[in-house]
């Protein structure tokens, strides 16, 4: 689960930031093309990435409008349709797991809940956890990475040790352990609310070293650059340099690593729900649907295919988009 | 070399202590801060009050945290005796915990399941190393060709597919649909061919995910190395392309992969939870799932500890191997 982020973009990123610095400086004086503009023009030419981006946008819209979509569609995610179920086998009547005009993707075995409605609502959980946990990771990773790179010394070695430690150990197992020792009610939340909060915090917590490592490396290399020295010799304070000189140049690598982290987080959420430590029923989530589909893979394969394909498409779209963003922000990339 | 070895072993020992403390914190301190009655975590919410009190006393949950941590630590090396009045339970060393629910020591249960997990990890590793690295190297050498694009699309799909979905699909297709394989786990002692039949789909499924990751990384590393000056020098010297690739480029491509392999294998020693669950393989990972379902925390604790130790050992082995291969490491 950790490896997709290990790609040597870290080596490519310094030059991305370098260009960011140059482009950023130029933009102010000459009104040249900003980095954002250059990146956008590159991204526009990358069809696969663009397709990924469009799918991501559609998914976001679906997730935000889920209640509206299901009410227009006419099926509620938690409503039972027992008339659709064969009383003898517990599987849906009709072909392909009960696909029909009323139930576009069929119904679940046993209780006949509409699969399309549950997939649409499941998108909310996947994206919510995917995005918010990435945000937790970005905040922690940026703050600690900058601290390590900017101050150096024992602060640096301590933070590096922690990052190495967190990256070395199998995250899924630790996340399972943390989620399963926690209570069902806390901070005024209960059931699914607690689980969502736990997943966001814990997945984010185990993700920050990916961002932190890159940010630290960048900060370390930029600290010694001429423009920082220039600012320092003009009498700029540490915090001015930190916020005005360094942070703007960290934006590009942070964006790249965030887009690459979201799909991993979505997979982790699905895995947790699959294992039964994710959201609680009846809240629908893709991982949970797959885990209940195990028992029916022979009698009702459609039930397994739909959530599986939903996860696949979502993660693939994010990955394609993420690769595209990485290439667009990387001046070496002439692929 | 000896100095390096001693330094590295010392660091590993320190790490061992840190790991044990972190695991203690996860199971005994963090829930306490969150306001959970830890005794309830260990016996289940439906247990009668007397049993809860018994476990509370046995685990020494009323003692100061440092005492609890020490007892936990000591148990791993020297065994531990849980006593509440006349009710005494003994957990022999290495005591990775004791399940009061099933009245079992964790360690023997886990070691019994370990061979399945080991077989799954090693079999898959052989497959993913062969196919993943080969695909990555070929892609890098034939960059931009149809082969490269095709392989990378497959690899991207591979890392985007949840492993339990590929597992279920392969079961549905090859076991149920086509009927080529039985798909049920058979112990090795019962039948060798049956065992292979039960392991082949899990091996391929797990290997597919890792092969996809290794192919992507091998390709990227190889491309970077092919751009290095020393490769140009080697070519300029008039060496055959074959020699440049196999002797000069491959060597630097494979060393980072060694680190990855060590870490991945170490992590898999705690069980490929998702794969084992999907195929009902009775390994460590499946025990984790059972423990989640039955709310039997000590087993989760035990697997977390075992996995952490395996990662630690794998790290140590990789570091020592590195020092053997690359003399610069020893001086660092």
What is the model's pLDDT at position A10? 41
Give a yes or no: residue A15 inside a domain.
no
Residues of B in contact with A316 (CB under 8 A): 156-157, 160
Give a yes or no: residue A26 inside a domain.
no
Residue A263 banded pLDDT, cuts 50, 70, 90: very high
Tally of domains in chain A: 1
DSSP summary character for residue A294? G
Q: How far apart are CA A147 and CA A216, in angstroms?
A: 8
Residue B159 pLDDT exceeds 80: yes
What is the model's pLDDT at position A239? 80
Looking at the complex, report in whole angstroms how far the Cα of residue A222 sits from the nearest Cα belonging to chain B. Answer: 23
**Strand B98-99 to strand B87-91: parallel, antiparallel, or no bridges (unpaired)?**
unpaired
B220-231 average pLDDT score: 88
Say if the Cβ atoms of B160 and A312 lie within 8 Å.
yes
What is the model's pLDDT at position A265? 93
Nearest residue on chain B to A312, alpha-carbon basis:
B161
Percent of chain A with pLDDT over 70: 85
Q: Which of B25, B168, B295, B310 to mutate to test the interface with A (most CBs of A within 10 A)?
A: B168
What is the model's pLDDT at position A13? 44
Q: Which residues contact A325 (CB under 8 A, 6 or more apart)?
A: A39, A43, A49, A255, A256, A259
Residue A314 pLDDT exceeds 90: yes
Q: How far apart are CA B91 and CA B197, in angstroms?
A: 37
Say if the Cβ atoms of B30 and A182 lie within 8 Å.
yes
Q: How far apart are CA B187 and CA B207, in angstroms?
A: 21
Looking at the complex, report in whole angstroms how far the Cα of residue A188 sits from the nearest Cα belonging to chain B. Answer: 12
What is the model's pLDDT at position A66? 83
Residue A127 banded pLDDT, cuts 50, 70, 90: very high
Residue A222 pLDDT exceeds 50: yes
Looking at the complex, report in whole angstroms how far the Cα of residue B77 sits from the nearest Cα belonging to chain A. Answer: 22
Q: How far apart are CA B198 and CA B116, in angstroms?
A: 11
Query: Between the CA of residue A252 and those of A18, A110, B81, B126, what are the distances in Å?
Result: 10, 49, 56, 38
Instruction: Cite the DSSP H helix spans in B59-191.
Output: 65-78, 106-128, 134-141, 146-160, 163-170
Say if the Cβ atoms of A180 and B260 lie within 8 Å.
no
A135-139, B240-244, B267-271, B312-316, range with the lowest pLDDT: B267-271
Mean pLDDT of chain A: 80
What are the contacts of A217-220 at 24+ separation with CB within 8 A?
Answer: A217/A10, A217/A13, A217/A14, A217/A149, A218/A13, A218/A14, A218/A17, A218/A145, A218/A149, A218/A249, A218/A250, A218/A253, A219/A145, A219/A146, A219/A148, A219/A149, A219/A150, A219/A246, A219/A250, A220/A149, A220/A152
Residue with tokens 């074959």: B242
pLDDT tens per residue across span A45-96: 888 888 999 999 999 999 898 888 888 877 777 777 777 777 777 777 777 7
Domain that holds residue A134: 37-327
Say if the Cβ atoms of A294 and B278 lie within 8 Å.
yes
Say if the Cβ atoms of A274 and B216 lie within 8 Å.
no
Looking at the complex, report in whole angstroms how far the Cα of residue B162 sits from the nearest Cα belonging to chain A. Answer: 7
A297 backbone φψ class: left, alpha, beta (φ>0; ψ -120 to 50): alpha
* Bond preceding residue A282 cis, omega within 30 of 0: yes
Task: Let me know: does B57 contact B82? Beta carbons within 8 Å.
Answer: no
DSSP A69-129: HHHHHT--TT---GGGB-TTT-SBSSSTTT--SSSTT-B-TTT--BHHHHHHHHHHHHHHH
Please name the residues between 132 and 171 in chain B that touch chain A, using a CB distance below 8 Å. 156-157, 159-162, 164-165, 168-169, 171
Residue A3 banded pLDDT, cuts 50, 70, 90: very low
Instruction: Select from B30, B172, B217 the Cβ nearest to the Cβ of A181.
Output: B30
Would you state the structure tokens that stand for residue B139, as one six-digit string?
């892609």
Looking at the complex, report in whole angstroms how far the Cα of residue B7 sits from the nearest Cα belonging to chain A. Answer: 16
Q: Which of B16, B29, B140, B160 to mutate to test the interface with A (most CBs of A within 10 A)?
A: B160
Say if the Cβ atoms of B274 and A271 lie within 8 Å.
yes
Q: How far apart are CA A194 and CA B195, in angstroms?
A: 42
Q: Which residues contact B211 (CB under 8 A, 6 or more apart)?
A: B127, B128, B131, B132, B135, B155, B158
Instruction: Select from B168, B213, B224 the Cβ nearest to the Cβ of A11.
Output: B224
Would you state the structure tokens that stand for residue A50, as one six-digit string?
């663009």
Residue A85: beta bridge partners?
A92
A326-332 average pLDDT score: 72
What is the model's pLDDT at position A179? 81
Give a yes or no: residue A13 inside a domain.
no
Residues of A in contact with B288 (CB under 8 A): 173, 176, 275
Q: How far apart are CA B267 and CA B286, in angstroms?
A: 15
A128-142, B28-42, B199-213, range with the lowest pLDDT: B28-42
Q: How far apart are CA A56 and CA A131, in angstroms?
A: 12
Mean pLDDT of chain B: 84
Domains and CATH numbers, chain B: 1-94 (no CATH), 107-328 (1.10.3720.10)
Q: Which of A119, A158, A180 to mutate to test the interface with B (most CBs of B within 10 A)?
A: A180
Nearest residue on chain B to A11, alpha-carbon basis:
B224
Task: Let me know: does A15 contact A331? Beta carbons within 8 Å.
Answer: yes
CATH number at residue A261: 1.10.3720.10
What is the model's pLDDT at position A198? 85
A224-249 average pLDDT score: 82
Nearest residue on chain A to B259, alpha-carbon basis:
A168
Residues of B in contact with A293 (CB under 8 A): 168
Q: What is the ipTM of this complex?
A: 0.85
Residue A40 CB coordination number (10 Å) = 12
A33-37, A125-129, A159-163, A303-307, range with the lowest pLDDT: A33-37
Looking at the complex, report in whole angstroms how far the Cα of residue B276 sits from the nearest Cα belonging to chain A. Answer: 11
Residue A332 pLDDT exceeds 70: no
Chain A and chain B share a number of CB contacts under 8 A equal to: 140
Task: Let me know: does A329 contact A255? Beta carbons within 8 Å.
Answer: yes
3-state secondary structure of A212: helix
CA angle, residues A69, A75, A76, in degrees to nearest 5: 85
Q: How far apart are CA B296 and CA B16, in angstroms?
A: 25
Q: Of A303, A313, A319, which Cα lies nearest the Cα of A123?
A: A313
Phi/psi at A334 (5° precision): -110, 25
Q: Of A152, A267, A146, A153, which Cα lies nearest the Cα of A215?
A: A146
Residue A107: beta bridge partners?
A114
Q: How many helices (H) and strands (E) does chain A have?
A: 13, 2
Residue A192 pLDDT exceeds 80: no
pLDDT tens per residue across span B67-92: 888 888 877 887 777 777 667 777 77
Residues of B in contact with A180 (CB under 8 A): 292, 295, 297, 300
Q: Which of A3, A165, A295 to mutate to test the interface with B (most CBs of B within 10 A)?
A: A3
Instruction: Select from B26, B36, B264 the Cβ nearest to the Cβ of A177.
Output: B26
Residues of A in contact with B168 (CB under 8 A): 290, 293-294, 297, 304, 308
**B121 compared with B70, residue with greater pLDDT:** B121
Give a yes or no: residue A277 inside a domain.
yes
A24 backbone φψ class: left, alpha, beta (φ>0; ψ -120 to 50): alpha
Q: Of A283, A259, A288, which Cα lies nearest the Cα of A272?
A: A288
Q: How far apart are CA B165 and CA A294, in angstroms?
A: 9
Residues of A in contact with B164 (CB under 8 A): 271, 274, 290-291
Highest mean pLDDT among A108-112, A284-288, B187-191: A284-288
Instruction: Cite the DSSP H helix spans in B60-133.
Output: 65-78, 106-128
Angle formed by the axes of helices A301-329 and A286-293, nearest 10°: 140
Residue A234 banded pLDDT, cuts 50, 70, 90: confident
Residue B110 banded pLDDT, cuts 50, 70, 90: confident
Give a yes or no: residue A23 inside a domain.
no
Residue A105 pLDDT exceeds 80: no
What number of CA atoms fall less than 13 Å from residue B43's CA on the CB side?
17
Looking at the complex, report in whole angstroms how far the Cα of residue A205 sits from the nearest Cα belonging to chain B. Answer: 14
Please name the residues between 206 and 235 in chain B that touch chain A, using a CB distance below 8 Å. 210, 213-214, 216-217, 220-221, 224
Looking at the complex, report in whole angstroms how far the Cα of residue B157 sits from the nearest Cα belonging to chain A. Answer: 7
Task: Let me know: does A68 contact A77? Beta carbons within 8 Å.
Answer: no
CA angle, residues B187, B192, B196, in degrees to nearest 5: 85
Query: Between the CA of residue A185 and those of A50, A174, A276, A283, B49, what are the distances in Å?
Result: 42, 21, 17, 16, 21
Give a yes or no: residue A1 inside a domain.
no
Percent of chain B with pLDDT over 70: 96
């Amino acid at each position: 689960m950790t490896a997709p982020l290990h790609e040597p973009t870290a080596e490519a990123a310094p030059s991305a930031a370098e260009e960011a610095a140059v482009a950023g400086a130029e933009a102010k004086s000459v009104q040249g093309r900003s980095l954002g503009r250059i990146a956008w023009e590159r991204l526009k030419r990358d069809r696969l990435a663009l397709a990924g981006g469009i799918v991501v946008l559609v998914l976001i819209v679906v997730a935000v409008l889920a209640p509206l979509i299901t009410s227009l569609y006419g099926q509620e995610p938690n409503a039972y349709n027992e008339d659709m179920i064969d009383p003898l086998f517990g599987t849906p009547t009709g072909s392909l797991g009960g696909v029909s005009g009323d139930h576009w993707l069929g119904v679940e075995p046993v209780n006949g809940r509409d699969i399309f409605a549950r997939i649409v609502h499941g998108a909310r959980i996947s994206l919510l956890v995917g995005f918010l946990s990435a945000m937790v990771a970005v905040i922690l990773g940026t703050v600690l990475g900058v601290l390590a790179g900017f101050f150096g010394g024992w602060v640096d070695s301590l933070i590096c040790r922690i990052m190495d430690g967190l990256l070395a150990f199998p995250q899924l197992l630790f996340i399972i352990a943390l989620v399963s020792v926690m209570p069902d009610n806390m901070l005024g939340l209960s059931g699914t609310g607690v689980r969502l909060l736990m997943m966001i915090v814990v997945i984010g917590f185990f993700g920050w070293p990916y961002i932190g490592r890159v940010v630290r490396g960048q900060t370390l290399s930029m600290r010694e650059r001429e423009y920082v020295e220039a600012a320092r010799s003009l009498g700029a304070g540490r915090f001015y340099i930190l916020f005005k000189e360094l942070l703007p140049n960290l934006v590009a690598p942070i964006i790249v690593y965030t887009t690459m982290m979201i799909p991993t987080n979505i997979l982790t959420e699905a895995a947790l729900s699959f294992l039964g430590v994710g959201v609680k029923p009846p809240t629908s989530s893709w991982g949970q649907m797959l885990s209940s589909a195990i028992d029916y893979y022979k009698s009702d394969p459609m039930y397994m295919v739909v959530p599986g394909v939903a996860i696949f498409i979502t993660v693939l779209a994010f990955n394609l988009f993420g690769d595209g963003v990485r290439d667009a922000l990387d001046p070496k990339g002439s692929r | 070399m000896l100095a390096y070895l001693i330094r590295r072993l010392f660091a590993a020992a320190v790490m061992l202590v840190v790991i044990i403390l972190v695991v203690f914190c996860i199971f005994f301190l963090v829930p306490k801060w969150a306001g959970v009655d830890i005794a309830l975590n260990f016996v289940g919410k439906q247990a009668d009050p007397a049993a809860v009190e018994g476990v509370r006393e046995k685990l020494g949950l009323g003692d100061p945290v440092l005492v609890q941590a020490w007892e936990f630590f000591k148990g791993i090396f020297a065994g531990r005796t849980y006593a509440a009045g006349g009710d005494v339970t003994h957990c022999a060393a290495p005591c990775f915990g004791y399940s009061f629910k099933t009245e079992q020591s964790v360690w023997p249960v886990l070691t019994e399941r370990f061979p399945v997990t080991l077989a799954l990890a090693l079999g898959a590793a052989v497959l993913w190393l062969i196919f993943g690295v080969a695909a990555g190297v070929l892609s890098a050498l034939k960059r931009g060709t149809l082969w490269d694009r095709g392989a990378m699309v497959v690899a991207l799909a591979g890392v985007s597919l949840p492993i339990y979905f590929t597992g279920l699909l392969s079961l549905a297709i090859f076991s149920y649909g086509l009927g080529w394989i039985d798909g049920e786990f058979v112990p090795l002692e019962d039948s060798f061919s049956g065992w292979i039949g039960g392991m082949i789909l899990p091996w391929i499924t797990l290997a597919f995910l890792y092969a996809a990751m290794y192919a992507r990384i091998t390709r990227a590393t190889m491309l970077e190395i092919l751009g290095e000056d020393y490769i140009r020098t080697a070519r300029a010297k008039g060496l055959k392309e074959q020699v440049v690739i196999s002797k000069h480029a491959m060597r630097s491509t494979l060393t980072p992969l060694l680190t990855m392999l060590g870490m991945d294998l170490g992590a898999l020693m705690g069980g490929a939870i998702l794969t084992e669950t999907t195929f009902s393989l009775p390994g460590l990972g499946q025990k984790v799932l059972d423990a989640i379902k039955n709310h039997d925390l000590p087993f989760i604790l035990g697997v977390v500890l075992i996995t952490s130790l395996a990662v630690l050992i794998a790290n140590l082995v990789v570091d020592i191997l590195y020092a053997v291969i690359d003399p610069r490491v020893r001086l660092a």
